[in-house]
Amino acid sequence: MTLLKNLGFAALLAFSAAMPASARENSLTISSGFLHFSTADVPDPRAGYNGWISNQTGVTETLMGIDYDLNLYPRLAESIEQSAPTTWRVTLREGLTFHDGAPVTAQAVIDSIAPISLEGHTGHNTRVAKLLDLAGMSADGARAVVFETNKPNAAFPWTLSDPGIAILGASSDEFPINATGPYVFREAVPEQLYRAEANADYRLGPPGLAEVRVVFAADPASAALAFEAGETDMVINYPETDFERIKGTGALGFSAPTARLYFYTVNAASGPMAHPLVRRAVSIAIDRQGIVDAVLAGVGGVPAGTVFPAGKGWAADIPVTFDMAKAEALLAEAGAVREGDRWMLDGAVLEIDIVTYSSRAALAPTAELTQAFLQAIGVKANVRVGEYGTGNDAIAAGDADMFLQAWVMTPQGDPGAVLETLLKSDGGSNSGRYTNAEMDKLLEDGRLTFDQDERARIYDKVQEIIASDAALIPVFHVSQVNVAKPGLTGYAVHPTETYWITHETRFSE
Amino acid sequence: MRSVLALALIFILLAVLGPVLAPYDPAAINIPNRLGPPSADWLLGTDALGRDILSRLLHGARWSLGLAFLISVIGLCIGTVVGLVAAQGGKLADWSVMRTTDTFLAFPELVAAVVIAGLLGAGTGTLILALSVTGWMRYARVVRGIGLALKSRGYVVQAKLAGMSPLVIAHRHYIPAMMPSLIVVWTGMFAHTILGISALGFLGFGVQPPTAEWGTMLLDARIHIRSTPLQMIWPGLAVAISVLAINLCGDALRDSLAARNS
């Protein structure tokens, strides 16, 4: 991807030179480092992760939404009720219309969601189909949709907030993505541009901007240069080290914690990290505040004690711990023996191989700092920076001990989905092969428990196990650092990173 | 000429003695002193992890210049052998070897190196392999050209008639005659390889952290180009000056050899 990104950057330079920054009056041009959607001219919001950009630009909307405190709220839905363990009834708001003016009916919602499970359809999405796990859907009158799931699933209402479950009407040449949001899709160039125009008939009032353009920036530094040159109006993921300076020039700065977590997947099946005590020692030997200060200039992240951002949604109250002496004591307790400036474990030098990838600027220095912190307690560590797939393969094959990754832990606001894929014994992304019967049972219970207080207790327990067993090692939650031209109002950093522009976003006079 | 040689000598000495001259451990992280400006303690300032930039440049010289030396010598050896086979072999050998060389030349070297490095994964071994595979063709063409000219010389024909093996003929007659031209080509390729290593390092295919290398230093510093541009300027200058010095050396050598021949 590094090669592709740099080629994309070259293309952007050529492209941006010919493209006016604001093609229309009252246009907002945003540069973003991640503009991944399918190579189709019309990226179906239901496929892959196409829904992210359409949700971010206010083109598509979902039945349920996630607010800025990671709480669930009805979006296109007026209400959601559970009538049986596997039956959910969603009532739509009155008077909803698609961009082409057609009414949003219960049948239209069914017709929009059904293709997600249809192989060969442009909207097919295995990931989302698995999240939905639908046995069937039926319309109850014009405004109510009854969803039947295969198994009881307490996360179902949250799942309906996934940007991939965008509600779409019949497409046409004028409205190739016929959605319901404040902006209407106009064109897309993969890895280069996504453009939308105002939907004057939006249900909550006319949008504040005439046009929204998102252009791809290969890295934050190039995005910063384009912003200062006046080629863009806003940068998502501005270089943290330049944040204070650019604010001093009058630019607006936005920074708030998100649910994107930098964390280590550990090889729990073989090697030194198979010892829970060694994992814990490694975890508490990492100076997370030091990493945030050094890598993110103190503004781009918040040290993470647990997997969810502190004080929001499902986060348990687990403190961030940095204690080198305790780390060494844990190593000794694990049976390691200190010989001079190194530790011996099971007759061999305790050596930890860290792998990560280069597509996010903070990953490599975070791994380097971790290496330094481990060496400070006498644990030899090696760092390899490659591609995402290489790192994942290395940890799965037992060729590495720790894999530094960056994931949004609650993309749908629900605590279960990501933890299940990362930590359940049969989790699809459990590349470290972590197994813990208690964890499996808790995650299963979390999915089957509908009482929200009880669910909160279950996921608190899950987070306690993650901390005590170092099932994965959280490092920091990203604080998204964005800047915009003076005068931009109605914008705030959203913790899921999937919401940018609302109908209220506008430039003040 | 002397000043150019002196500059090149300084860089060679830096590559050899850099680690001895470095005032600090190049991997020693010092977070409180991160992104520090040049000062009496840190002559060129510190990087984002508080590491001394001067020490990293000096250690990086060994990697950037040392690897470039190694890779250009590997290319020299491969290219010489290939060129000699083309020159000394029959028409079929010449045709097949040179078409292979042309095929390799048809690919832009850096792009081919990036593809190889991308397929095999980042690392020093991959870097050496990628640049060696794409760096031997110019030698082969030069050696083949000179070899074909020598082939019909009387002393070479005599040696063949005397039953000397191709290896001995190459050792006694071809290589001494080719050496001046090869040295000039090699200096150009040495400088070219420094750029290749830096480019691959900048693209993320270089040596692995925390090892200091000039291209990787540029990569690490690019995020700070607005706030602390010196971080990028120092390794950039090191690459530019070393390449310039070596290229000027090559030019001076070429002029010297041309004067001697005339």
Model pLDDT for residues A205-220, shown as the tens digit of each residue: 999 999 999 999 888 8
Label residue A80 by pLDDT band (50, 70, 90): very high
More confident residue, A119 or A3: A119
Q: Which residue of A has its CA nearest to B123?
A: A384
- Hey, what domains does chain B have and what are their CATH numbers? 53-261 (1.10.3720.10)
Contacts for A414 with CB less than 8 Å, ≥ 6 apart? A155, A158, A159
Proportion of chain A above pLDDT 90, given as a percent: 83
Give the whole-angstrom CA distance, residue A478 versus residue A483: 16
Give the class (CATH, top level) of A1-59+181-233+485-509: alpha beta
| Chain A residues 182-241 with CB within 8 Å of chain B | 219-221, 224-225, 228, 239, 241
| 3 state SS for A107-158 | HHHHHHHHHHHCCCCCCCCHHHHHHHCEEEEEEECCCEEEEEECCCCCCHHH
pLDDT at A11: 46
B37: DSSP letter: P
Mutate to test the interface with A, among B33, B46, B205, B225 (most CBs of A within 10 A): B225
Average pLDDT over residues A250-270: 95
Q: What value does the mean pLDDT take over residues A117-127?
A: 94
Which range has the worst mean pLDDT, A20-24, A244-248, A356-360?
A20-24
pLDDT score, position A228: 92
Task: From first to last of the 262 residues of chain B, give the pLDDT tens digit.
Answer: 677 778 778 888 888 888 899 999 999 988 888 889 999 999 999 998 999 999 999 999 989 999 999 999 999 999 999 999 999 888 899 999 999 999 999 988 888 888 888 788 778 888 899 999 999 999 999 999 999 999 888 888 888 888 888 889 888 888 888 888 898 899 999 999 999 999 998 888 888 888 899 999 998 888 888 888 999 999 999 999 999 999 988 888 888 877 876 6
Q: Does A353 touch chain B (CB under 8 A)?
A: no
| Closest by CA position to A474, among listed A257, A270, A271 | A257
Quick one: pLDDT at residue B31? 84
The CA-atom distances, in angstroms, between B210 and each of A208, A387, B29, B38 are 48, 18, 10, 22
- Sign of the torsion formed by the C-alpha atoms of A96, A99, A105 and A110: negative
**Nearest residue on chain A to B112, alpha-carbon basis:** A3
Nearest chain A Cα distance for residue B188, angstroms: 26
Query: Residues spanned by CATH 3.40.190.10 within chain A?
Result: 1-59+181-233+485-509
* Whole-number pLDDT of residue A36: 67
CB atoms within 10 A of CB B229: 12
Average pLDDT of chain A is 92
- pLDDT at position A38 is 67
A242: contact with B, CB 8 A cutoff: yes
Sort out which chain B residues have CB atoms less than 8 A from A293's CB and list them: 31, 34
Task: Report which of A396, A468, A404 is spatially closest to residue A439, judged by C-alpha positions.
Answer: A468
Residues of B (208-227) whose Cβ lies below 8 Å from A: 208-210, 220, 222-227
CATH 3.40.50.300 fits A61-171, yes or no: no
pLDDT of residue B210: 87
| Closest Cβ opposite residue B204 in set A228, A368, A385 | A385
Nearest-angstrom CA–CA distance, A324 and A329? 9
Task: Using the predicted structure, report yes or no on whether residue A469 has a pLDDT greater than 70.
Answer: yes
A21 pLDDT more than 70: no
Q: How large a percentage of chain A has pLDDT more than 70?
A: 94
Identify the pLDDT of residue A509: 67
Is some CB atom of chain B closer than 8 A to the CB atom of A6? yes
- Mean pLDDT for A179-205 is 95
Pinpoint the residues of chain A covered by CATH 3.90.76.10. Answer: 61-171
3-state secondary structure A21-38: CCCCCCEEEEEECCCCCC
Three-class SS state of A196: strand
A257-479: CATH architecture: Roll (3.10)
pLDDT score of A20? 39
Please report the pLDDT score of residue A191 as a whole number.
83
Contacting residues of B for A228, CB less than 8 Å apart: 226
Residues of A in contact with B210 (CB under 8 A): 368, 371-372, 383
Q: Which residue has the higher pLDDT, B114 or A260?
A: A260
| CATH 3.10.105.10 domain residues, chain A | 257-479
Q: Is the peptide bond before B210 cis (omega within 30 degrees of 0)?
A: yes
For A121-125, A269-273, B14-18, B53-57, which range has the lowest pLDDT when averaged over its residues? B14-18
| Contact in structure between A96 and A202 (CB atoms under 8 Å) | no
Q: Contact at 8 Å (CB) between A185 and A196? A: yes
- pTM of the shown model: 0.81
Do the beta carbons of residue B64 and residue B131 sit within 8 Å?
A: no
Residue from A165, A131, A179 nearest A62 by CA:
A165
As for the ipTM of the complex, it is 0.73
Whose structure tokens read 């929200």? A452
Closest chain A residue to B113, measured at CA: A3
How far apart, in whole angstroms, are the C-alpha atoms of residue B160 and residue B88?
Answer: 11
How far, in Å, CA of A487 to CA of A508, rounded? 5
What is d(CA A213, CA A438) in angstroms, rounded to the nearest whole number?
48
Tens of pLDDT, residue by residue over A153-189, are: 999 999 999 999 999 999 999 999 999 999 999 999 9
Which pLDDT score is estimated for A12? Answer: 46
Q: B48 and A368: CB-CB below 8 Å? A: no
Q: Look at residue A443 and tell me whether its pLDDT is greater than 90.
A: yes
How confident is the model at residue A319, as a pLDDT?
95
- State the Cα–Cα distance between residues A19 and A95, nearest whole angstrom: 38
Which pLDDT band holds residue A106 (cuts at 50, 70, 90)? very high
When scoring A370, A385, A392, A393 by the number of chain B Cβ atoms within 10 A, the one with the most, hence best to mutate, is: A385
Q: Residue A214 pairs with which residues in a beta bridge? A: A30, A194
Residues of B in contact with A3 (CB under 8 A): 114-115, 118, 203
